[in-house]
Chain A
Amino acid sequence: MANLQSDFVGIKSPNPFWLASAPPTDKEYNVRRAFEAGWGGVVWKTLGSEGPPVVNVNGPRYGAIYGADRRLLGLNNIELITDRDLFTNLEEIKRVKADYPDRAMIVSIMVPCEEEAWKAILPLVEDTGADGIELNFGCPHGMSERGMGAAVGQVPEYIEMVTRWCKQYYSKPVIVKLTPNITDIRKPAAAAKAGGADAVSLINTINSITSVNLDTMSPEPSIDGKGSHGGYCGPAVKPIAMSMVSEIARGADTAGIPISGIGGITTWRDAAEYITLGCGNVQVCTAAMTYGFKIVQEMISGLSEWMDEKGHTSIEDFRGAAVPNVTDWQYLNLNYVAKAKINQDLCISCGRCFAACEDTSHQAISISEDRVFEVIDGECVACNLCVNVCPVEDCITMEMMEPGTVDPRTQKVVEPEYANWTTHPNNPSATAAE
């Protein structure tokens, strides 16, 4: 079995699966059970300043988006940071960490954007023996209206400033959690780096309304007929999060900063993908909230099995392996020509490829009297839509055309050399290739 041992900015955990700062990590009872279930670490649900705890709504906190058979694809929430007393949390953190020294214990913090506030709480957290802190600059609702959470995360200068305070008043690793509710994720990441952050974690949740009740005209989740944008998470946000992760992993000002990946991680495969995009570990929330803590067992066994199969002996072996392959559109090889191919043995003749291609794409699939569907190579631009709508895995594949063959659509010979838009004759600002 592959070694899943994780060392993230010096914080060790038996596997790279941490529970993200969220309801599953709100108290000792949950965290102990999570550790017993096998989670490598937790980021304790966000602590606020000393004083009266925050108040949550007393109606629904979550809204959902479903796929077939009510499979939960996306979840949003309007819950705030912990609504339990600061000192109760701190005592519990200390106890649990003492009992589980091999697990990662990170404390998420959100206090006002004032140096005194951070100076006050950081020693208290330091005293718990936790392994590090995560700065919650992400929550898009409630706290942001009080100048915290996303209100800080959307201003790179504040991020840098607060990070600097944390590095000043706290001795262990500082992870800055980023909000995706911004235009360019590289800016806050660079600010965190400039402030001395040991790592960034992303993404926090996305501003969202999951649905509107057509009877009451209230957004969901509805509190007495009104709704507020909540933070969206779950499998639906994974593509957005992975793109942001990759931008940081390959950004000129951000490359190299350790990343803790968050966003819709539901299976070992999701985790592996995040790691190949440069993440040192991953954080999970929605999957645990959907299925319970036990899912970590599948994540551990799946990742381990895949690593064994690929010959990877540690997480570091493949971390970032996909980063060099993330590029800008202008550098994609325009001489790469593919054609869709339908495997007639696997085809169940549903005709979805035909409907999609005929109605919305390039009219490149034919239908016969007896419902045999075939690709018309002379029309196929290899857009992949047929593959995407086909219900049978691997029934339709994109086959690369060998150099030297003639593309029946363009009547041009497929060139063996790589050539991209920057040198393309149609590009007004093309740089001469010759």
Chain B
Amino acid sequence: MTQSPFSPGVAAGRLAASGYAENFSDLHPALDPHEALVAADRCYFCHDAPCITACPTDIDIPLFIRQIATGTPDAAAKTILSQNIMGGMCARVCPTEQLCEEACVREAAEGKPVLIGQLQRYATDHLQEKGIHPFSRAAVTGKTVAVVGAGPAGLSAAHRLAMLGHEVTVYDARPKPGGLNEYGIAAYKTPEGFAQAEVDWLLQIGGITIENGKALGADLSLDGLKAEFDAVFLAMGLGGVNGLAVEGGDKDGVLDAVDFIADLRQADDLSALPVGRDVVVIGGGMTAVDAAVQSKLLGALNVTLAYRRGRDRMNASTFEQDLAASKGVRIMTHVVPVAVHGNGSVREVEFEYVNDDMSGTGQMVRVPADQVLRAIGQTLEGEGLPDLTGGKIAVTGAGRTTVDGVWAGGDCATGGDDLTVTAVAEGRDAAMDIHASLMG
């Protein structure tokens, strides 16, 4: 039976085949060489450039842009990748409007920053599409390091450690490496299998073994890793998801947004992916926006993003909020879910309007829903971990945990924003500290 956006319930194939291709194409199409030169020409080559300061990985942005402008994009890529081995992915998913591009002096001057993110992508794509890996391993040290989690933090650490001559084994619970790059980021930000291609490219350094399907707790123990390896880096992210602790929160049709996104990312055929006619996403972060926008792009008729505070308090950037709005997502603010109604399957979500201080107003509103996506935060899972602070592994300095010989970084550890670029920086810095510690 042919479905359409109007079909009630949760259904697959709401769009014509071409609709999926169009909706899930590159959010920011790659710059062509001429566009890249024009964009690069706008860089002022600032002294002590604010964009570098704003970059969590301290990429020398003016230098790489000048290298593009002078016709050496591969040299530009090396400048980027020497600081941020996942510069290709970061070019696609970084909230540049809150980082480098916000700091760009041309943003101050005319409200139009240099297109740093897109130029970074131009350079890294140029190099990676040729299959060139510009780094080589140092002499083998004989030291071994276990990395738990093959996401941005883990892979960044693994690459740096391998480059320094150590032997690295990366364990990951999922069937594929990449972490959130592979499973957790909106498809239109990294189309055409880029996440996997980047991992393959990264592994060209050598000295890294990836073991998928191995989770800490189930298959591995920290004590076991400590005994087997000279150092351990924990970067398994946040595996748990906060539940929706309201009446009816377990009805059919209530899902975790991260699972919805992971399914979408792994789907071979988007038209086979079911989505509700009326979707309600609960949350205010990047995951909530990614889930809401992709629901809409899959053909949901009405998508509501419901957040308990005002838009200014949302973790999702202004750019992401505007993107959601432009795709037709309705953003409701100051609402807290109180009940999920429906006879077996969800039919409505009932919210209470709340004040800025989260005090209830007593006013209720019901939003039709045949699919509810929970995006109200993720939690660290596992036992026998180093000491935690605020639900994350407590670290000091470059990712040192309370356990000797164990470092941690990325979303599972304290410090920094939960961004890909931050995870890459933390992985890199922990690797340097591990190296110093092993060779000291």
On A, residues with C-beta under 8 Å from B are 68-70, 348-352, 354-355, 358, 367, 371, 391-392
Contact = CB atoms under 8 A, between A and B. Distances in A.
B47 interface: yes
A351 B48 contact: yes
A392 B105 CA distance: 11
B47 A354 contact: yes
15 contacts: A69-B38, A348-B105, A348-B106, A349-B108, A350-B44, A350-B47, A351-B46, A351-B48, A351-B49, A352-B46, A355-B47, A367-B47, A367-B48, A391-B44, A391-B109
A380 to B, nearest CB: 18
B44 A352 contact: yes
Nearest to A367: B48
Contacts of B105: 348-350
A116 B170 CA distance: 91
Nearest to A365: B47
A391 B46 CA distance: 10
Interface in B72-119: 105-106, 108-109
Interface of B: 37-38, 41-42, 44-50, 105-106, 108-109
Contact of A392 (B38, B41, B109): B109
Which of A354, A367, A391 has most B Cβ within 10 Å? A391
A348 B47 CA distance: 12
Nearest to B69: A68
Of A70, A351, A358, A392, most buried by chain B (CB within 10 Å of CB) is A351
Contacts of B108: 348-349
Given A68-B41, A348-B109, A358-B47, 5 more contacts: A348-B108, A349-B46, A349-B50, A351-B47, A392-B109
Nearest to A389: B44
A69 B108 CA distance: 21
Contacts of B47: 350-352, 354-355, 358, 367
A352 B45 contact: yes
B50 A371 contact: yes
Contacts of A367: 47-48
A352 B47 CA distance: 6
Contacts of B44: 350, 352, 391
Nearest to B49: A351
B48 A371 contact: yes
A69 to B, nearest CB: 5
A350 B104 CA distance: 9
Nearest to B38: A69
A352 B44 CA distance: 8
Nearest to B108: A348
Contacts of A68: 41-42
A290 B37 CA distance: 20
B100 to A, nearest CB: 14
B66 to A, nearest CB: 12
A358 B37 CA distance: 29
B57 to A, nearest CB: 20
B54 to A, nearest CB: 12
A355 B46 CA distance: 8
Contacts of A355: 47
Nearest to B110: A348
A350 B41 contact: no
A46 B106 CA distance: 48
Contacts of A352: 44-47
B104 to A, nearest CB: 9
B39 to A, nearest CB: 10
10 A-B pairs with the lowest CB-CB distances in the bound complex, closest first: A351-B47, A68-B41, A355-B47, A348-B105, A348-B109, A350-B46, A350-B105, A348-B108, A350-B44, A351-B46
A227 to B, nearest CB: 20
Contacts of A391: 44, 109
B250 to A, nearest CB: 52
A388 to B, nearest CB: 14
A389 to B, nearest CB: 9
A127 to B, nearest CB: 51
A354 B46 CA distance: 9
Contacts of B37: 69-70
Contacts of A354: 47-48
Contacts of B49: 351
Nearest to B103: A349
Nearest to B109: A348
A393 to B, nearest CB: 11
Nearest to A70: B37
Contacts of A348: 105-106, 108-109
Nearest to B45: A352
A348 B41 CA distance: 17
A371 B50 CA distance: 9
A355 B48 CA distance: 9
A354 B49 CA distance: 12
A348 B108 CA distance: 6
A367 B41 CA distance: 25
A367 B50 CA distance: 13
B113 to A, nearest CB: 11
B51 to A, nearest CB: 11
Contacts of A371: 48, 50
A424 to B, nearest CB: 36
B29 to A, nearest CB: 20
Most central of A70, A349, A350, A352 by chain B CB within 10 Å = A350
A8 to B, nearest CB: 40
A396 B434 CA distance: 48
A68 B37 CA distance: 8
A355 B108 CA distance: 19
Contacts of A351: 46-49
A62 to B, nearest CB: 20
B52 to A, nearest CB: 11
A348 B43 CA distance: 13
Nearest to A392: B109
Nearest to B39: A69
A349 B41 CA distance: 18
Interface centre among A69, A348, A358, by most B CB within 10 Å? Answer: A348
Contacts of B48: 351, 354, 367, 371
A348 B109 CA distance: 6
Nearest to A67: B41
A184 B15 CA distance: 77
Nearest to A357: B47
A371 B109 CA distance: 15
A371 B103 CA distance: 12
B177 to A, nearest CB: 40
Nearest to B42: A68
